Structure 1
């Protein structure tokens, strides 16, 4: 018998992040697994006792704490409520399964025999919760999405500052694709995270193709003005690029190509961040882009733009000058360098005026 699979489509701050696929263990905890499955599908409609909708769709992850993310409060949506398909609460079924790895899915509770609809997903091993919370499943795909939720900033009470929502959920049939690859329905058929591939091809060339594909999708989104999606694609390209170094067939030519490609991707990523108002993030990307030793005028140009946005005009001018050395005829670099030099001169003039007044 094949274990049932369910999916949770997650958004962060109103933007889709990705899909988490969860395998359930009805052979070990049939009541608990069925409770989660039915709450994912919403097939039971509304509670006959309370009128609460028995469905996880639209319900937030209300708590992001050290070691876990918690959600599933279908009634209050803040961690104070919840209801199972069997009534307000049902008993602990057993504690055979352990919180032995990242991605284990377990029931949240307020004490023994108080299981409702709330659940949590472990982001690390949690052996201290064994014997206290009923484990009923594990994340098969989507650990990268889980990591994104985990790194979401929170307040002092571990509530996410950006809403983390279950936008959609349901059951994946045995013969059905899990929907992780091609999640955004934009023609990009590589999953966002290499760990979510059904197979891990051994050949470096396959991974280089994946890098190029992701980069091209990023470029297309940038041209359309969708800078957030472009940035997502560039991050994805870097994840696939990092895997290339450990694959078969990596020779010196491919290694050189990957170094150049990484510089290009980081430079493009910095351009997205500048468009999105993240000058500090753009500066970090350009620093990484120039660390490889590859001379890349556009990386230096973007670094200059980042410094300008941060009002460090001297550093900006220095970056533009280095970029111009590599591309002496580039009009855009000349223009930005002229602006930067003018601002440097204005800054020095103001400083001279301040010093002059000090000694009057």
Structure 2
């Protein structure tokens, strides 16, 4: 897949345009009236899709569909980023790309990105508007759009993906950075062990990734989860529980705990089968004392993919997970509180709190 040439002057232009504040306003501002899309109800990214539709950042097709499992083209991505940033369309700035037809519906969007320095095309004279956006391209585009690519290029951020050798050299630092700050939380609806960076990104995955990226708008300092993580700090960045095959991502409550609130009516037979924990890159292990047992799980490059038995021992005797009904009966339908100690290889430690609030019986 073609490289996205980089013009470092574009970073300065993007910052000067105030793109970060525009992005934040686009995501969290007043909602616009929009007809519901008929085919997003079963998508794991339904909430994110509907939110960005309401904000006017994305739109469905004329027949009222969105096609969550369809691929996203580079022209469509140009429209999304232009709408999210509030950039003015500029058809004249797309003139250097011979494959962007003057007067086409996307020429103004491509020109806007070129003028802002978000894209320099797939070559000096091409943009490849009809080509599908790959996962690695999407990552790089979004980091540029929220003005965080400079952080990635100035640091050394490792990604733990088993197929990281497939990541293009021009996107390696950006993907490592995106991973370490938690941008991939929930991406594809399941914990990731392989990124498949050259794979065409699905529309639902693109929206989920864009939605997460917009949370970083205007946040160029390390800090609490939801911002780029502090280099050298030791902390949990994100936590996801897998229940009944679905991902439930924890929210940081501001008091040091990650909280997962389960919806009412969740299937009592649905089983909690595991967790994906993301921590600082130097995290080595997490030790948890639960029901009289002490268990330690290891992190690899800041990530731990663990089963319930790995973490909670006797609660999962058969090693196939624990149902919501069993959890409720054991815990009195209150909450599962997991308190542990995160440690790095040098012995530095910090406390971790993960809470799963159970729905009432």
| TM-score over 0.5 (shorter chain) | no
Q: Which protein is bigger by CA-based radius of gyration? A: 1
More strand by share: 2
Name the structure where helix makes up a greater proportion of residues: 1
- Please give the TM-score of this superposition, normalised by the length of structure 1: 0.31
